Amino acid sequence: MGCRCLQQCCSLPSLFIIFILFFSNFFIIYAQTDPALPSFTPINRDLYHRSDALLEEIKGLVNRHPDKLSMEILNGQNRGYEADLNVVTYCQNRKETDEKSKFRILISFGQHARELITTELALRVISILSEEQFLPKMDQVLLNRTLEKLVIKVIPMENVNGRKLVEDGDLCERRNGRGVDLNRNWSVDWGKKEKDYDPYEENPGTGPFSEPESTLMRKLSGSFEPHMWINMHSGMEALFMPYDHKNTTPDGLPSQRMKLMLKKLNYFHCENRCMVGSGGGSVGYLAHGTTTDYMFDIARVPMAFTFEIYGDITASTKDCFKMFNPVDLPTFNRVINDWSGALFTLFTMGARQMDELQSENLSESKLISIDDYLNGYLMERKSRYGKKIEVLDLGMQEIRTYFRLFLLSSVLLMFMFCSRIRKSNRTLVHALSI
């Protein structure tokens, strides 16, 4: 009996089965240690839409609510690489009202491909704007009064091409369709690399705005001229303001206002668990060529933010889907509800800022300094908030014109003085030589 069993176990088919079992176990162990293999946790299709399905659902919301929502698709290409940018605009009575008279908000989701939770938040935000969904614990009448004052442009999925790579199985991909990090492709401090630079994570491209996605976003911000910019990411819980490329925040009144707004959001929506401050001073590393730094420094957006809405610190660095996205329904719902509430609270605070700026009296102590004016901030505030300061503008322009003339005349006088001295010296030398 024992010999017969031994013969059966040692037969060729049995040895083949043992061989297969051995190497399958080896592959499982290897998969857990090899960083080149895909991450462990797959995309939960019960929670997350595919990119095409999500954009179709948003398109359906727009079609059902043409009185509030509109959608356009911008297209760009560079050296054979092509990208689309879907832009949803919310504006009540947009046919009757000039958008420039309202408070303008530009907000982008899904700039990094692997951060799927941000695009789901975009869908929720647009659903609330359409009034097919509602915010819990928020007065809808009060919210509607706020929304009447706003124009909101939403980019629900900035990095469509990179997102498709993630859906095909590359769950750690954050770059676009040709391997460029869209949040390193902007012109402020572009291309600088830290000691821990990783090209897979932070490839800035061949130059500022080398990618169609970044170029389209820049053109959109230039034509829309937002008062507020928000860039939505995941990987941690944080409320960031400029700057990302240095360990400091801007000086002056705009910075103070942004800090106050973020502190309120942290208290009411993050239960004080979110990191607050500049991206470069809080996150632990400097980021160069980011969108938010460009929006604040170059596009002159008065309020520019980067929000990080979720991160699992217990996940392996190679388990990217779990690290950047909730994997269970309760956590998913909590993140979506908390951050949709935070965004609409921020919208309300922004609208109030506009009201305060419009009601400021020039005789009060809140006047902008000449230094701020010379930096262009006064003119920006005039164009953005419609303050009637034409007389003050004219006076400041005259002062700057006179100052420039003074500098020019001083240089000319100095040049003439030096020339006279040189001629006098030559005459003296000539006389002495005779």
* 122 and 180 in a common domain: yes
* 334 and 252 in a common domain: yes
One-character DSSP codes across 144-185: HHHHTTEEEEEES-S-HHHHHHHHTT-TT--S-TTS--GGG-
Q: Tell me, yes or no, whether 44 lies in a domain.
A: no
* 288 and 141 in a common domain: yes
Secondary structure tally for the chain: helices H, strands E: 16, 8
* 336 and 209 in a common domain: yes
* 410 and 354 in a common domain: no
* 433 and 339 in a common domain: no
* 286 and 207 in a common domain: yes
Q: Tell me, yes or no, whether 2 lies in a domain.
A: no
- The alpha carbon of residue 391 and the mean position of all alpha carbons in its chain are separated, in whole angstroms, by 37
Q: Tell me, yes or no, whether 34 lies in a domain.
A: no
pTM for this model (two decimals):
0.75
- Contact 186/208 with Cβ under 8 angstroms? yes
* 333 and 223 in a common domain: yes
3-state helix, strand, coil in the chain (%, to 5): 50, 15, 35
* 261 and 172 in a common domain: yes
Rounded distance, CA 227 to CA 221, Å?
10
Q: Tell me, yes or no, whether 204 lies in a domain.
A: yes
The count of domains in the chain is 2
- The domain that holds 60 is classified in CATH as 3.40.630.10
Residue finishing a domain among 339, 359, 379: 359
Instruction: Give the DSSP H or E segment for 414.
Output: helix 390-433
Q: Tell me, yes or no, whether 26 lies in a domain.
A: no
Burial group, residue 214, by CB count within 10 angstroms (0-12, 13-18, 19+) = buried
- 100 CB-side CA count, 13 A: 7
Which range of residues forms the domain containing residue 424?
389-434
Q: Is 308 a catalytic residue?
A: yes
Q: Tell me, yes or no, whether 309 lies in a domain.
A: yes
Residue finishing a domain among 342, 359, 376: 359
Residue finishing a domain among 359, 379, 397: 359
Q: Tell me, yes or no, whether 40 lies in a domain.
A: no
Tens place of pLDDT for every residue, the chain, 434 residues? 444 433 444 444 454 444 444 444 443 334 444 444 444 899 999 999 999 999 999 999 999 999 999 999 999 999 999 999 999 999 998 766 667 789 999 999 999 999 999 999 999 999 999 999 999 888 888 899 999 999 999 999 999 999 999 999 999 999 999 999 999 999 999 999 998 899 889 999 999 999 999 999 999 999 999 999 999 999 999 999 999 999 999 998 889 999 999 999 999 999 999 999 999 988 878 999 999 999 999 999 999 999 999 999 999 999 999 999 999 999 999 999 999 999 999 999 988 877 666 554 333 444 443 334 334 433 344 444 443 333 343 344 445 555 666 777 777 787 777 776 665 555 544 444 45
Determine which one of 202, 308, 360, 390 is catalytic.
Answer: 308
* 99 and 146 in a common domain: yes
* 122 and 268 in a common domain: yes
Q: Tell me, yes or no, whether 412 lies in a domain.
A: yes
Residue closest to 184 by CA, chosen among 278, 108, 290: 290
* 416 and 276 in a common domain: no
